[in-house]
Amino acid sequence: MSNNLCGGAQMPFRPGRVDAIEAGKTTGVPAPETDLEETLLFFERAGFDKVDAIGLTACGHTMGSVHHGGFPEAVDESFVTPNNTNGGSNFDATRGVFDPNVLGEYLNGTGTKGGPLVNSYNDTMNSDKRLYESDKNSTMRTLFAQGAGFLATCADLMGRAINTVPIGVQLSEPITVMPVKPVNVTYDFSEDGKLILSGKIRFLTPAGSSSPRSLTLRVSDDESELEPEAETGSSVSGRSGDAYGTTTYFPFSLSGPAIQNATSFSVQAPEVPEQTFRIDSQAFVVPSLTVLSGTALNATIALCTRFRSCEDLTVHIAAPLTQHGTLAPKINGMDVVVSKAIEEKRVCTLCRGQVILKDVPSGLVTVEALLHGKVVDTLLVNGGQAGW
């Protein structure tokens, strides 16, 4: 998250990690006073050789500061000022930006000259200096020669660190961005009980290109031209250079014979190949009857085949909750027990249930309906709320 928000290179995200809920048996990171030999041993234990160790440390130390508050032996009291009460001494002149500056400043003696762990008044604490000099600055020079390519080296090194997981944890392939993505495209019932198909198509335009003025949506033999919403979003996924890509939303609501038994719909935009997505009019989470109010989530799933009962259905929810000390939410997963409602809609049985979440969610809640273990529909509740 920090890498992305501060302008680092894209880092592929591989899902499947498990949260660590306590510290590991071995101490994880070296301290500034740790000698070179032991420092390299820490890195080696994590699968990083000397060149990697220098690179990874330079990558980390393009951001942030060493604070007198925590490390008085490295940063003296003179750094404590009314505007810097913790006495932070920055690693490079651009503390909040993921850039190669730390390399040039260290090699050329400009800016902060490599920062507090190179120039500390107490040489014992100069761990960056010891590490960078351990091969006569050869790795630092190679990294500097990469220019902005240093960011990709960092994404690779940090990716290796992040993707080192305990035995038994299997990471999946990286999640890649979908340039065309249906958001909550699902069936619903209108107020007068008619079946409607509605939702939005989210379209990602890379930085530098303009978003399409319309999209073509095809359901069965019917074609509709979709108009964009005025409000757009910005996405790091479409980033090039310093600029973010634009996300444009194309909302729609259809009714009538074409949507009745559709099993798919397709979307076409200029210069993007037509893409087809699956839908299911026989089993779906009903958006207008699935509501989050405070911590109470009421979910309704419609089953429109005669051979299905609410007992065939499993409903999972996943709600992001704020956790102390990190920007990353804790995902609270739960099952909703559903039972047949007295009310029916058209030919559909309605299965209803409620769960009380541990806290008010900090973002979108996912409601997933499964028939005999197979996902048939997913709805994001509170879809208007961006991010998490």
H-helix or E-strand spanning residue 376: strand 374-381
Residue 31 or 97 with smaller CB distance to ligand HEM: 31
**Sign of the four-CA dihedral 167, 170, 173, 179:** negative
Residues contacting residue 306 through CB under 8 Å, at least 6 positions apart: 347
Chain residues 18-37 in contact with ligand HEM, contact rule CB under 6 A: 30-32
Site for ligand HEM contains 126 (CB under 6 A): no
d(CA 340, CA 230): 40
Among 9, 11, 54, 66, binds ligand HEM (CB under 6 A): 66
Number of residues binding to ligand HEM, judged by CB under 6 A: 19
Rounded to a whole number of angstroms, the minimum distance from the CB of residue 236 to ligand HEM is 19
Residues contacting residue 109 through CB under 8 Å, at least 6 positions apart: none
Residue 36 or 341 with smaller CB distance to ligand HEM: 36
Site for ligand HEM contains 131 (CB under 6 A): yes
Buried b (16+ CB within 10 A) or exposed e, 197-231: bbbbbbbbbebeeeebeebebbbeeeeeebebeee
Chain residues 145-174 in contact with ligand HEM, contact rule CB under 6 A: 158
Site for ligand HEM contains 59 (CB under 6 A): yes
Site for ligand HEM contains 64 (CB under 6 A): yes
d(CA 104, CA 115): 12
d(CA 22, CA 2): 22
Among 12, 16, 47, 70, binds ligand HEM (CB under 6 A): 70
**Interface mask toward ligand HEM for 82-101; x: CB under 6 A:** --------------------
Site for ligand HEM contains 79 (CB under 6 A): no
Q: Which amino acid is at 204?
A: L
Residue 60 or 361 with smaller CB distance to ligand HEM: 60
- How crowded is residue 281: how many other Cβ atoms within 10 Å of its Cβ? 18
Site for ligand HEM contains 39 (CB under 6 A): yes
Residue 56 or 302 with smaller CB distance to ligand HEM: 56
Binding site for ligand HEM (CB under 6 A): 30-32, 39, 56-57, 59-61, 63-67, 70-71, 127, 131, 158
